[in-house]
Structure 1
Amino acid sequence: MSLDLDGGVEQRPSDSPYVERVYRAGMGAVVVPARMRSLANSNWELVMWRDRGETQVAVRGPETGPTVLDLGPSLGEGHTIGIIFRHGAFLSPMPVPKLVDTAVSSPHTTAHSFILQGEEWETPTYDNAEVFVNRLVRAGLLVRDPLVADVLRGDTATLVTPRSVQRRVAAATGLTQGAIRQIERARQAVMLLGQGMAAIEVVQQVGYHDQPHLARSLTRFTGRTASQLRQASGDEMLSLLYKTEVAVRP
């Protein structure tokens, strides 16, 4: 549920092997659309937001389909910080498969701290997200299976059996390799369409069989057709989009 609004979001990649991206959204005086369309995504994230004087923190799992959220008039008064984790990184006491299409909120938060797995943690900022992540790693809460990222990048040079690979990908991400690639392909297609690329060129660029295949994928993972995605609506914004290292071609 990452916010992506012109002038209202700042995002950056990370060189941490655990972190895919860090973002923050502070709407301020920006005109906020009535709705946000959250596209399917294959990464989990830690999200912290403050609205009307209250701070909330939640671990959000991968989302296998689109959701539409009403953005209340108070959104412009708050701000959001999110840490999106790389494929293969996961909280060892909180299995990712149980987080798919759901979220787990911190049982207690303040303006500067929150509870995670029974321990109090200082709430990270946009600039020190990697410091916070390193603390999780040192505490043994955040672990990483590097094979997962390698496989999803298309590296097949492994001595592990295909069945073991499938099991490890599912354990670390909550999704199958096929589901991850389908989601990432659709997200890349949305970015290319947003850049003005013709649908037939998108098909060739990201590896769809044909335009009907593209259409089915977009409907499933975004809830929109190619034409609807091209025609930006002033009352709806899309969730954060960025290119990952996942190899989307079969």
Structure 2
Amino acid sequence: MGLEIESRESDSPYVERVWRSRSSDVTEMMSVASARFDLVFWEERGETHVAVQGPETRASVAPVPEDATFFGISFALGVSMPHLPFERLVDGNLLLPGATRRSFHLQGSSWHLPGYDDAEAFVRRLAQEEVLVRDPLVASGGGPVSWVSERTLQRRFLAATGLTRNAVRQIDRARHAAVLIRDGVPAGEVVHRLGYFDQPHLARSLARFVGRTATRLAQADPAEPLSLLYRSSASPHRIDG
């Protein structure tokens, strides 16, 4: 009942996480902010759909199709599709054409639909065909480095993510805080560990990026579940506020 989500880590430098889910008797979820983009496949009422889901800069309530199955690949920080304008994908998505149960179209070519267990092989082919590229500087979180200017660093973050380096860091910190609180770490300890000014600062961050208070994070809410929530593996080092 509700939204069942299963996910796993990946050994691919291009992939942050692979996930799948199934909906039942739920109409909406709280979509948590994310600095990464996803390639999402789902089946609803016998039809297959594929979309690129862009980064999300704040939490928002999202509809959940009834009795649908989903599979997704969350790409690592610094990975992008050069043919797509990422600055226009932020807080949006792009439905890809020609989707069937076997294939879909991406950058003018037909691709076989991957599965939960062979996602890395599919991503490897995308990288070989340069549909995917990876900026190692952005992938490392952007610092500390001395051989590149701040302006160049920001430009590369915008090109790879559609977001500023500081925005990525704020989103990742809020996600990390939510994971800690959900795992039972007291809010005061989270403030200390992650460098928030105080508990009100933490509360504002959670409200903006996670859509939950610390109290609600500790309680499961099947009527309005959260989207996939995990601690991101890399993030920028500097943060302002």
Residue of structure 1 in register with 2:124 after alignment: 134
* TM-score, with structure 1 as normaliser: 0.88
1:157-193 alpha-carbon deviations (Å, 9 max, x no partner): 3411111111101110111111011111111111111
1:116 aligns with 2:106: yes
Following TM superposition, by how much is the alpha carbon of 1:128 offset from its aligned partner in structure 2, in angstroms?
Answer: 1.1
How many angstroms apart in 2 are the aligned matches of 1:248 and 1:177? 6
- The 3-state SS of whatever aligns with 2:139 is helix
Deviates more, 1:207-216 or 1:193-202: 193-202
1:86 aligns with 2:79: no
Residue of structure 1 in register with 2:16 after alignment: 20
- The 3-state SS of whatever aligns with 1:26 is strand
Given that 2:184 and 2:218 are in contact with CA atoms closer than 8 Å, whether structure 1 keeps it comes out as yes
1:31-54 alpha-carbon deviations (Å, 9 max, x no partner): 644431101111001000001100
Structure 2 CA distance for partners of 1:187 and 1:132, relative to 1, 3 Å? same
Given that 2:31 and 2:59 are in contact with CA atoms closer than 8 Å, whether structure 1 keeps it comes out as yes
Give the aligned length.
237
Given that 2:10 and 2:17 are in contact with CA atoms closer than 8 Å, whether structure 1 keeps it comes out as yes
Counterpart mapping for 1:49-128 below 5 A: 49-72=42-65, 74-75=66-67, 78-128=68-118
Q: Runs of 5+ in structure 2 lacking a partner?
A: none
How many angstroms apart in 2 are the aligned matches of 1:245 and 1:69? 25
2:157 to 169, 175, 178: 169
Amino acid at match of 1:71: V
- The 3-state SS of whatever aligns with 2:141 is helix
- The 3-state SS of whatever aligns with 2:111 is strand
Given that 1:207 and 1:248 are in contact with CA atoms closer than 8 Å, whether structure 2 keeps it comes out as no
Q: Percentage identity across aligned positions?
A: 49
Counterpart mapping for 1:187-226 below 5 A: 187-226=175-214
How many angstroms apart in 2 are the aligned matches of 1:25 and 1:85? 17
Given that 2:168 and 2:235 are in contact with CA atoms closer than 8 Å, whether structure 1 keeps it comes out as no
How many angstroms apart in 2 are the aligned matches of 1:191 and 1:109? 35
Displaced runs of 4+ in structure 1, greater than 3 A?
A: 31-34, 247-250
How many angstroms apart in 2 are the aligned matches of 1:170 and 1:130? 25
Q: Runs of 5+ in structure 1 lacking a partner?
A: none
Q: CA RMSD in A?
A: 1.8
Amino acid at match of 1:224: R
How many angstroms apart in 1 are the aligned matches of 2:5 and 2:220? 18
Given that 1:206 and 1:248 are in contact with CA atoms closer than 8 Å, whether structure 2 keeps it comes out as no
* TM-score, with structure 2 as normaliser: 0.92
Given that 2:126 and 2:132 are in contact with CA atoms closer than 8 Å, whether structure 1 keeps it comes out as yes
How many angstroms apart in 2 are the aligned matches of 1:210 and 1:168? 32
How many angstroms apart in 2 are the aligned matches of 1:186 and 1:103? 22
Following TM superposition, by how much is the alpha carbon of 1:243 offset from its aligned partner in structure 2, in angstroms?
Answer: 1.6
Following TM superposition, by how much is the alpha carbon of 1:247 offset from its aligned partner in structure 2, in angstroms?
Answer: 4.4
1:128-149 alpha-carbon deviations (Å, 9 max, x no partner): 1111111111212111110111
Amino acid at match of 1:223: G
How many angstroms apart in 2 are the aligned matches of 1:241 and 1:217? 15
Given that 2:42 and 2:48 are in contact with CA atoms closer than 8 Å, whether structure 1 keeps it comes out as yes
How many angstroms apart in 2 are the aligned matches of 1:107 and 1:158? 43
How many angstroms apart in 1 are the aligned matches of 2:167 and 2:118? 32
